[in-house]
């Protein structure tokens, strides 16, 4: 079926079923859960074929994370779906107001490759929970995982309710020309702009889950061993191809030497030297791989030191866990989202210096602070407009299902996960019922007279 045919079928289906019952949504979500577990082994193998993603990492960062989202939704959907009674101000006496969440309508989901399972199924879970038919386009860069996800989704949803369209930019462009009610896009800020422009033609609502440079500050008071371990996991799992990975480090000058030692020790403990460690995923395509090696070359040319790593193997597209010491502001690693296992470490004077450097860049998706001092965390929280500030940990905000998760400006628009994900696909519809007292409004209706004004002024006391 062409994208247009799918869209028309889903539109007709939605017209006939504008509010699928809770039991139906739950049934689909449970089937999705079952299919996910059934395909666990095959998906793990697919991700190995796609970019040598380590199987243990798949378990933690794909299956556990997706199941957290799925189970949270199954547990709470009944309460999210319930109409919410709102209080009645005195001026509205005699009325009752409820807010109902109804599905927005056929929705388009465009997924990235970096967490092919989690980030394709996440919006599928939320669209299903909200009762929206959907067309999902997985990324073309993880074809093995995408093929399995397609057969999984097609085994659960009839095309009127849920369908997969495979393809790259051309297919995405074709899909974006259709007047979907909501578009959920996860990917780069560059493509996010294209998506938003396309959505504006139909005034479709958007959730844009984008990326950017997430800073990590290591304070003078930090537990340096714990900081090195948390940063190492956040940065190098999935070989740094994570939207919320620490992108660059800002390290307080008084502990910089000690911390650097802890960081290199931690990398040596976690990974085998050389660019062949099976615990480090490879870079997804030769083009992406080339870009990573260019980033390292560029830093070298600007006189930065490679503290550890730097090795690369073009055949397996593997890159060593790499730390670059004090690259200048002009280097590409300090200008672009890195999205690979390269970590710039910049020594800063203090909290203010770190905040100043962060403010020079677009609003980050996440901000990490390693410190023992909550006042420092508060300082970051109040100063940086970002999706999440985490103290002494990385990545965990993603699996806090009570969320919400999302970015701001360059790092995204809207929120997803848990209830926020459900609401993104829902139209919050007010139902206001006049129960008695229809005469009240008549007091301020035409024919107007000085009395209307007197009454309107009297009403001001009851707002
Ligand atoms: P990408 O923007 O290159 O691609 C994302 C999706 O957009 C793919 O399905 C791709 O086929 C599609 N696409 C490509 N060209 C398009 C076009 N012209 N019009 C419409 N769609 C098009 O991103 P990627 O390389 O897959 O993922 C990496 C980026 O995604 C990083 O910037 C990362 O930070 C971000 N990301 C964000 C989150 C989040 O939750 N905020 C999660 C993962 C990744």
Structure confidence at residue 444 as a pLDDT band (50, 70, 90): confident
Centre of ligand 1 from the C-alpha of residue 444, in Å: 54
pLDDT digits (tens, 9 = 90+) for 35-66: 999 999 999 999 999 999 999 999 999 999 99
Token match 């999705």: residue?
Answer: 32
Q: Is 168 in the pocket of ligand 1 (CB under 6 A)?
A: yes
Structure confidence at residue 165 as a pLDDT band (50, 70, 90): very high
SS3 281: coil
Residue 195 to residues 166, 199, 210, 355, 427, Cα–Cα distance (Å): 17, 6, 11, 31, 21
**pLDDT at 275 > cutoff 80:** no
**pLDDT at 322 > cutoff 90:** yes
- Looking at residue 459, what is its pLDDT? 86
Q: Is 44 in the pocket of ligand 1 (CB under 6 A)?
A: no
Give the angle 367-259-374 at the CA atoms, nearest 5°: 45
**pLDDT at 241 > cutoff 80:** yes
Q: How far apart are CA 184 and CA 321, in angstroms?
A: 32
Strand (E) or helix (H) holding 215: strand 214-218
**pLDDT at 440 > cutoff 90:** no
In this structure, the dihedral spanned by the alpha carbons of residues 420, 138, 232 and 295, taken in order and rounded to 10 degrees, is -120
Active-site entry in 62, 243, 320, 337: 243
Centre of ligand 1 from the C-alpha of residue 186, in Å: 5
In this structure, the dihedral spanned by the alpha carbons of residues 281, 286, 287 and 289, taken in order and rounded to 10 degrees, is 40
**pLDDT at 143 > cutoff 80:** yes
SS3 224: helix
Give the pLDDT mean for 375-381: 98
Give the pLDDT mean for 181-190: 97
State the average pLDDT for the chain: 96
Active site residue 243: yes
What tokens were used for 258?
């000690």
Bridge partners (DSSP) of residue 108 are 135, 183
Q: How far apart are CA 315 and CA 165, in angstroms?
A: 30
What tokens were used for 431?
């139902």
Q: Is 187 in the pocket of ligand 1 (CB under 6 A)?
A: yes
Structure confidence at residue 286 as a pLDDT band (50, 70, 90): very high
Give the pLDDT mean for 104-133: 98
Q: Is 116 in the pocket of ligand 1 (CB under 6 A)?
A: no
- Looking at residue 278, what is its pLDDT? 84
Nearest atom of ligand 1 to the alpha carbon of 337: 32
Residue 312 to residues 55, 290, 293, 322, 435, Cα–Cα distance (Å): 22, 10, 7, 10, 72
Q: Which CATH architecture has domain 215-399?
A: 3-Layer(aba) Sandwich (3.40)
DSSP character string of 415-431: -BSHHHHHHHTEEEEEE
Structure confidence at residue 426 as a pLDDT band (50, 70, 90): very high
Residue 235 in contact with residue 266, Cβ under 8 Å?
Answer: no
DSSP strand pairing (84-86 vs 95-103): antiparallel
Prediction pTM value: 0.95
Active-site entry in 62, 161, 209, 266: 209
Structure confidence at residue 273 as a pLDDT band (50, 70, 90): confident
- Looking at residue 441, what is its pLDDT? 86
Structure confidence at residue 110 as a pLDDT band (50, 70, 90): very high
**pLDDT at 12 > cutoff 90:** yes
Give the pLDDT mean for 435-460: 90
- Looking at residue 463, what is its pLDDT? 78
pLDDT digits (tens, 9 = 90+) for 343-362: 999 999 999 999 999 999 99
Q: Which of 226, 182, 185 is nearest to 205 (CA)?
A: 182
- Looking at residue 461, what is its pLDDT? 85
- Looking at residue 265, what is its pLDDT? 96
Radius of gyration, alpha carbons of the chain:
25
- Percent above pLDDT 90 for the chain: 94
Centre of ligand 1 from the C-alpha of residue 145, in Å: 16
Half-sphere exposure of 82 (CA within 13 A, CB side): 6
- Looking at residue 22, what is its pLDDT? 98
- Looking at residue 359, what is its pLDDT? 97
Domain boundaries, the chain: 3-210+412-427, 215-399
Buried b (16+ CB within 10 A) or exposed e, 156-173: bbebbbbbbbebeeeebe
Active site residue 101: no
Q: Is 169 in the pocket of ligand 1 (CB under 6 A)?
A: yes
**pLDDT at 85 > cutoff 90:** yes
Residue 210 in contact with residue 135, Cβ under 8 Å?
Answer: no
Protein residue with least CA distance to atom 15, ligand 1: 169
Neighbours of 26 (CB within 10 A): 16
Q: How far apart are CA 134 and CA 155, in angstroms?
A: 15
Centre of ligand 1 from the C-alpha of residue 142, in Å: 12
Q: How far apart are CA 346 and CA 354, in angstroms?
A: 9
Protein residue with least CA distance to atom 13, ligand 1: 169
- Percent above pLDDT 70 for the chain: 100
Nearest atom of ligand 1 to the alpha carbon of 194: 19
CA 294 to chain centre: 27
Q: Which of 97, 78, 76 is nearest to 88 (CA)?
A: 97
Residue 196 in contact with residue 182, Cβ under 8 Å?
Answer: no
Centre of ligand 1 from the C-alpha of residue 116, in Å: 11
**pLDDT at 16 > cutoff 80:** yes
**pLDDT at 272 > cutoff 90:** no
Protein residue with least CA distance to atom 4, ligand 1: 187
Write the CB contacts of 444 (distance below 8 Å, at least 6 apart in sequence).
Answer: 452, 455, 456, 459
**pLDDT at 27 > cutoff 90:** yes
Ligand 1 pocket mutation pick from 183, 184, 187, 418 by most atoms within 8 angstroms of CB: 187
What tokens were used for 446?
């035409």
What tokens were used for 17?
């079923």
Q: Which CATH architecture has domain 3-210+412-427?
A: 3-Layer(aba) Sandwich (3.40)
SS3 367: strand
Least confident among 33-37, 243-247, 267-271: 267-271
- Looking at residue 277, what is its pLDDT? 82
Q: Is 365 in the pocket of ligand 1 (CB under 6 A)?
A: yes
Domains 3-210+412-427 and 215-399 belong to one CATH topology: no
Q: Is 142 in the pocket of ligand 1 (CB under 6 A)?
A: no
């Amino acid at each position: 079926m062409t994208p247009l045919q799918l869209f028309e079928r889903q539109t007709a289906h939605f017209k006939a079923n504008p509010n699928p019952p809770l039991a139906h949504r739950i049934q689909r979500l449970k089937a999705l859960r079952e299919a996910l577990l059934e395909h666990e082994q095959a998906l793990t193998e697919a991700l190995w074929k796609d970019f040598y993603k380590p199987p243990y990492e798949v378990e933690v960062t794909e299956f556990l994370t997706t199941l957290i989202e799925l189970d949270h939704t199954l547990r709470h959907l009944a309460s999210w779906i319930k109409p919410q009674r709102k209080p009645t101000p005195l001026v509205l006496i005699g009325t009752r107001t409820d807010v109902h969440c109804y599905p927005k309508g056929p929705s388009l989901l465009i997924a990235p490759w970096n967490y092919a399972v989690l980030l394709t199924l996440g919006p599928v879970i939320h669209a299903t929970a909200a009762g929206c038919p959907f067309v999902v386009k997985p990324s073309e860069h993880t074809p093995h995982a995408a093929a399995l996800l397609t057969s999984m989704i097609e085994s659960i949803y009839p095309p009127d309710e849920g369908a997969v369209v495979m393809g790259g930019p051309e297919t995405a462009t074709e899909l974006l020309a259709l007047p979907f009610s909501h578009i959920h896009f996860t990917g780069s800020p560059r493509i996010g702009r294209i998506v938003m422009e396309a959505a504006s033609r139909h005034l479709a609502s958007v959730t844009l889950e984008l990326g950017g440079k997430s800073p990590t500050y290591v304070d003078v008071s930090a537990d340096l061993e714990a900081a090195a371990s948390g940063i190492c996991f956040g940065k190098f799992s999935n070989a740094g191809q994570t939207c919320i990975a620490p992108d660059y480090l800002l390290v307080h000058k008084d502990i910089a030497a000690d911390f650097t030692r802890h960081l290199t020790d931690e990398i040596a403990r976690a990974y085998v030297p050389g660019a062949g460690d099976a615990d480090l995923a490879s870079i997804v395509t030769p083009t992406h791989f080339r870009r990573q090696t260019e980033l390292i070359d560029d830093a070298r040319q600007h006189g930065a030191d490679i503290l550890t790593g730097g090795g690369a193997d073009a055949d397996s597209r593997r890159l060593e866990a790499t730390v670059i010491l004090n690259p200048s502001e002009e280097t590409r690693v300090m200008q672009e989202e890195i999205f690979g296992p390269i970590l710039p470490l910049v020594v800063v004077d203090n909290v203010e210096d770190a905040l100043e450097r962060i403010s020079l860049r677009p609003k980050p998706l996440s901000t990490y602070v390693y410190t023992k001092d909550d006042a420092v965390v508060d300082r970051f929280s109040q100063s940086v407009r970002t999706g999440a500030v985490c103290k002494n940990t990385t990545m965990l905000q993603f699996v806090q299902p009570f969320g919400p998760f999302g970015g701001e400006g360059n790092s995204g628009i809207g929120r997803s996960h848990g209830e926020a994900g459900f609401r993104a696909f829902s139209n919050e519809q007010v139902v206001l019922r006049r129960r008695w007292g229809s005469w009240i409004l008549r007091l301020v209706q035409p024919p107007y007279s000085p009395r209307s004004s007197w009454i309107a002024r009297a009403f001001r006391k009851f707002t």
